[in-house]
Amino acid sequence: MKQCSVCRVQVKGKWETCPLCRAALNRQEKEGSRDPYPEVPLRFNKQRVTRWLMLISLLILAVYFVVDFFFLAQAGIWRLVLFGIMSMWLVMLVILRKKRNIAKGIVYLLVSLSLLMLYLDHSQGQMDWSVSYAIPIICSASLAAMFIALKVVRLSVGDYVLYLLLATLMGFVPAIFLGIGWAENALPSLISISMSCAMLVYVLLRHGREIQNQLIKRLDV
C-alpha cells in the first residue's frame, strides 16, 4: 500500500497522489494494493454538454432572429419550420420516454399530436381542417395501430388495457365536434366513432374484469 505522509494515511488502489490532499504518495511496497473501486469512465461531462447545448441553442436563435429581421415577409414560413422542429422534438420525447409501453406511447402521441394540430389550425385563423380531418384520422389510426401493435409486441394485459380503453374513449371526441357543428366533413368523424364503438364492446367483453382490477389498483386512495 502507498502512504501519504501529510495526511498520515495508507492509500489503497492505483493513486499517484493522495486522494485527500493531492500530495505525492510514498511507495512502500513494490506492488500496489488492488483498487476496491473500479475505474469507471465518465458517462458524460456535464460542463462540456451544457456548453455545447448552449452554443447550439444560441446559434439557432441568432439565425432565426436574423432571418426574421431581414425577410419579414416570410416570417410565416419560418414559424411553420419552427413548429415542425418542435413537433419533431415532441414526438421524439414521447417515443423515448414511453418506449417500454407501446400502448401508453400511442395514447401520449394521440393526445399531443391532436393538440398540436388544434393549435396550428387555430393559429392560422379558423378551426376547420383539424377537427374535420386531422384529429378524427389520428384517432382512428391510433386505435388501429394499437390493435396491431398489441398483437405484435408482448405486453401484459394489465399494462395496456387502460390505455387501450383510453384510446377507445378518445375516439369519441370527434362526436363532440360533430355535435357542435365544427366538422365540415362528417365522414372521418363517423369512421372514428364507429371504430371506437366496436373497440369499446370488444375491450369491455374481453378485458372487463382486468379493467376493474387495474382501476381499483390505480385509483386506490
Partner 1 sequence: MRRSLREGEKMPEKNRWVRLDNASNIFLAARNDTDTKVFRLSARVAGPVKPAVLQKALDKTFEQYVLYHSVLRRGIFWYYLEQSELKPKVQLETAPPCAQIYHYDRRELLFRVLYHADRIHLEVFHALSDGTGAMGFFQDLLTEYLSLRYPEVYGNVDSLDSERLQKQMEDSFAHYFRKTRQLNFAEAAQSSLQTVTKVGKKAAHWFKSTYSPVPVGRKKNVYRVRGEKTPDNRMHAIELEMPVKEVLALSRKEKVSLTIYLTALFVEATQQTAPPSATPRTITVSVPVNLRQFFPSRTSRNFFSTTHLAYTYGEKKDTLSHVCQTFQDQLQRQISPDSLETRLNRLISYELNPLARIVIRPLKDVLLKVINYFNNRNTSLAMSNLGRVELPQPVDGYVEQVYFQTAAVRPQFCMISHGEHLTVTFTSPFVETAIQQRFVRMLTERGVSVTVAANKVTEEELEGKR
Question: Shortest approach of partner 1 to residue 26 CB, angstroms?
Answer: 14
Q: Which of 29, 30, 47, 72 binds partner 1 (CB under 8 A)?
A: 47
Q: Is 127 in the site for partner 1 (CB under 8 A)?
A: no
Of 1, 90, 145, 191, the one binding partner 1 by CB under 8 A:
1
Least distance from partner 1 to the Cβ atom of residue 108, Å: 11
Q: Which residues contact 182 (CB under 8 A, 6 or more apart)?
A: 127, 128, 131, 132
SS3 call for 213: helix
Q: Which of residues 4-43 bind partner 1 (CB under 8 A)?
A: 4, 7-22, 34-43
Kindly report the backbone phi and psi dihedral angles of residue 14, in degrees, each rounded to the nearest multiple of 5, phi listed first: -90, 75
Number of residues that bind partner 1 (CB under 8 A): 48
Smallest gap from Cβ 125 to partner 1, in A, equals: 35
**Are the CB atoms for 44 and 51 separated by under 8 Å?**
no
84 binds partner 1 (CB under 8 A): no
- Sign of the C-alpha dihedral, residues 13, 18, 22, 25? negative
Of the ranges 65-73, 114-122, 129-137, 212-220, which one interacts with partner 1 (CB under 8 A)?
212-220
Q: Does 156 bind partner 1 (CB under 8 A)?
A: yes
Q: Count Cβ neighbours within 10 Å for each residue of 198-207 and write b for 16 or more, e otherwise.
A: ebeeebeeeb
Rounded Cα–Cα distance for residues 23 and 2 (Å): 12
C-beta of 5 vs 57, nearer to partner 1: 5
8: left (phi over 0), alpha (psi -120 to 50) or beta: left
Q: What is the rounded CA–CA span in Å between residue 153 and residue 180?
A: 38
Considering only residues 30, 46, 70, 180, which one is a binding residue for partner 1 as defined by CB under 8 A? 46
Describe the crossing of helices 173-180 and 187-218 by its angle, rounded to 10 degrees.
Answer: 130
User: Does 97 help bind partner 1 (rule: CB under 8 A)?
Assistant: yes
Rule CB under 8 A: say whether 220 interacts with partner 1.
yes
**Interface residues with partner 1 (CB under 8 A)?**
1, 4, 7-22, 34-48, 97-98, 100-101, 154-157, 213, 216-221
